[in-house]
A and B are shown apart, each in its own frame.
Chain A
Amino acid sequence: MLEIKNLHATVGGNEILKGINLTINKGEVHAIMGPNGSGKSTLSYLIAGKDGYEVTKGEILYNGVDLTEMKPEVRAAEGVFLAFQYPIEIPGVPNTTFLKEALNSVRRHRGEEELDAMQFVKLIKAKAEELGIAKDMLKRAVNVGFSGGEKKRNEILQMAVLDPKLAVLDETDSGLDIDALKVVSEGVNQLRSKDRAILVITHYQRLLDHIVPDFVHVLAHGKIQRSGGKELALELEEKGYAEYGVAAE
């Protein structure tokens, strides 16, 4: 589903990614761990299509198509979803309006009927309830005044509504309390299927207790330094990144 080949990328003139190779097949869950500033979010933005992130070498293929040529909205409509590490606040746009515009845009692109207000409200209510999201959060402006954990839950709600094929979750666990972590993981696990792929970026093994990955990768110095099974996460938790030339704090 996702093939990243020898990806080099710069941000603000600095080379951050220096030859990433990563293949994610349908049905798989991958985890990327790595020290602060190693380029994890940079990679996620490159997948989602944020301006200012420039590929200097290599490619990102999504179902065999060059992703970097697609606008962000087309990527989303084609099934790519990024749960942001730092979700954006949009004053004045009610959360439901945002979700409805997003879903209907994606549906238009996919050649599906748009949902009317009634159908949408029904869908959103059900999804919000599953994720323990209060009604009030749906009415409020997108992420404005949301707590850290509420913002992360809202990301997962968006994911649940848009029903992506490839979900990238950038530190969705940080800021969540223990119960919320369970609810959110539950939401992610529901998405797990043989047609979908998930990439979780995290600093903590505890998330991976809930969302058990098929593969774990260590990203440091702009490259994948090592890949392994879920036990790699346990090892990292214990030893840190010293082995990859990163000093412990």
Chain B
Amino acid sequence: MRNMVNLTQPYVDQFDAVKERLPGAQLPWLEARRVAGLARFKTVGLPTVKMENWKYTRLPNLDEPGFRLATWDDGHVAVAGVPAFFSDQTALVRLVYVNGIIHPELSQLDQLPDGVSVEPIAQVLETDPGFIEQHMGTEAVAYDQGFAALNAAMMESGTVFRVATGVVINQPIEIVYLNGGTAEPIYRHPRNLFVLESGSQATLVKRHAGISAGAYFNNAVTEIVVGDGAILRHYTIQADCLEALHLSSVHVRVGRDATYENFNLAIGGRLSRTETRVRLEGRGSHCNLSGAYLMKASEHCDNTTVIEHLVPDTTAREVFKGVLNDEARGVFQGKLIVHKDAQRTDGYQMSRALLLSNRAEMDTKPELEIYADDVKCSHGSTTGQIDETALFYLRSRGIPEALARNLLIQSFIAEALEEISDLRVREAMAHQVIHWLPAQCYFAEEWKQP
């Protein structure tokens, strides 16, 4: 058996080789954080199924396909276009990255309202490094997560999104990450920082898509600060290709009377894991972490959440729904920690999975750690198949079986989509779901005449 040193050593070597050309290399505080991140990574190591919160998700051998760190050239591979999401010009602003490099010709940046900025992190490290120094919390983020620690050392791309005090933007801001399309598999360590100052409101739509078939590995870390009274609606569409590996760890701090809404739609990727950790730090704060995933072939999707209620009167809601076909696997781990002072916490958690094949598998692990006494928390999970009675009802009205199944899958997912408060985004997500379906009519038989 290989030991941990061997497993982490290639990354350490890599860091030494590239550190000079990483963004912000001239900043001593950043270098110190990178070095600390690397040290942390060496200690924590790569996740293995022996670790409690990784027990259902096994990483493939990363050396095998010969991943290399993305370069500037990878950001200039040919791109056919940006796949549509909204049916019209709903998004106010759009940033398009190709393998971590921003492409102004694909983006739309001229309509940014005052008090709002969306910029590549490399740029902000030049213009306003103090802002990043203030908000980037390397230690807490990397504490027990090897990959987040590695990201702290290696981070090379990503977005800084800032909304100033009291600024309210209704139209969504879209960030598109196009990945892959390179001859050899590449990996990247994007680092995002979203800061909503007090009383501001914004909607952010992040989309990940594969440029073409072929492997790539994203190891992203996102830190989010939702200031007092602010509202952030944060939506992610993960439509990576079949060979893609996508790890994302999201760290959120929510202030007094503030709301953080997160919805994650995953419709593709060999292995994807989104670990979202929310700290409800201000009284009256609320978070909604929900999502839907539709997986086929041997894709694997892991949604892991940790919500900490730190003060009185905080609420949290989670609704996850998944559809698993073929040999696909789904994982949901939801941990709720109610601290001693967090009286009148209200937490709701629901995870449901629909298995379309008897080879598909779902693992669910709810965990409650409650140290306060006046608390309302409920959780539930189900794993089931298509309801045969409903299927017959639809077919008895002339709807062919394949279409009837699709309708039932759509209706199953619809319940999760209802958690999305922005209706434009909800509708666009519903289209993504429909788009996933036809390819999935593996039951589809030709609509035959008798």
Residues of chain A having any CB pair with chain B under 8 Å: 48-51, 65, 69-78, 82, 84, 87-93, 97-98, 101-103, 105-106, 108-109, 141, 158, 162
Contact = CB atoms under 8 A, between A and B. Distances in A.
21 contacts: A49-B395, A49-B396, A69-B450, A71-B401, A73-B396, A74-B449, A76-B398, A88-B390, A89-B390, A90-B390, A90-B411, A92-B410, A92-B411, A92-B414, A97-B407, A98-B394, A101-B399, A101-B403, A105-B397, A106-B398, A162-B397
Most A Cβ at <10 Å: residue of B404, B408, B415:
B404
A163 B118 CA distance: 57
A48 B390 CA distance: 14
Interface in B379-404: 388-390, 392-401, 403-404
Contact of A92 (B388, B399, B415, B448): B415
Contacts of A76: 395-398
B403 A105 contact: yes
A64 to B, nearest CB: 12
Given A73-B401, A102-B399, A90 B393 contact: yes
A72 B396 contact: yes
Contacts of B414: 92-93
A101 B411 CA distance: 14
A51 B388 CA distance: 9
B411 A72 contact: no
Contacts of A162: 397-398
Contacts of B399: 73, 101-102, 105
Interface in B220-254: none
Contact of A109 (B404, B407, B408, B447): B447
Contact of A158 (B397, B407, B447): B397
A219 B140 CA distance: 74
Given A73-B401, A101-B403, A90 B395 contact: no
Interface of B: 388-390, 392-401, 403-404, 407-408, 410-415, 447-450
A74 B450 contact: yes
Given A90-B411, A92-B412, A98 B397 contact: yes
Nearest to B389: A88
A82 B396 contact: yes
B148 to A, nearest CB: 36
Nearest to B416: A92
B411 A105 contact: no
Contacts, number: 90
Contacts of A70: 450
A88 B387 CA distance: 11
Contacts of A72: 392, 395-396
B215 to A, nearest CB: 35
A98 B398 CA distance: 10
Most B Cβ at <10 Å: residue of A73, A78, A106:
A73
A101 B447 contact: no
Contacts of B447: 108-109
Nearest to B406: A101
A108 B398 CA distance: 10
A101 B449 CA distance: 18
A74 B399 CA distance: 9
Contact of A93 (B392, B396, B398, B411): B411
A171 B450 CA distance: 29
B382 to A, nearest CB: 13
A142 B390 CA distance: 10
Contacts of B396: 48-50, 72-73, 75-76, 82, 84
Nearest to B412: A92
Most A Cβ at <10 Å: residue of B388, B401, B407, B450:
B450
A7 to B, nearest CB: 19
B415 A73 contact: no
Contacts of B412: 92
B449 A109 contact: yes
A88 B395 CA distance: 12
A103 B412 CA distance: 22
The 8 closest A-B pairs by CB, nearest first: A92-B411, A76-B398, A102-B397, A92-B414, A106-B398, A88-B393, A72-B395, A93-B411
Nearest to A74: B450
A101 B413 CA distance: 18
A73 to B, nearest CB: 4
Nearest to B404: A73
A65 B388 CA distance: 26
A177 B146 CA distance: 66
Nearest to B418: A92
Contacts of B392: 48-51, 72, 88
Given A72-B392, A92-B414, A101-B399, 8 more contacts: A51-B388, A69-B450, A73-B397, A82-B396, A90-B394, A102-B397, A141-B411, A162-B398
B408 A90 contact: yes
Most A Cβ at <10 Å: residue of B396, B403, B415:
B396
A232 B448 CA distance: 43
Contacts of A89: 390
Nearest to A66: B450
A65 B449 CA distance: 13
Contacts of A141: 411
A51 B386 CA distance: 14
A49 B390 CA distance: 14
Given A92-B411, A92-B412, A92-B415, A77 B398 contact: yes
Nearest to A91: B411
A224 B63 CA distance: 74
Contact of A91 (B397, B403, B415): B415
A149 to B, nearest CB: 19
A82 B393 CA distance: 10
A120 to B, nearest CB: 14
A105 B450 contact: no
Nearest to A65: B450
B407 A73 contact: no
A71 B410 contact: no
A92 B449 CA distance: 30
Nearest to A108: B447
A100 B173 CA distance: 35
A27 B408 CA distance: 36
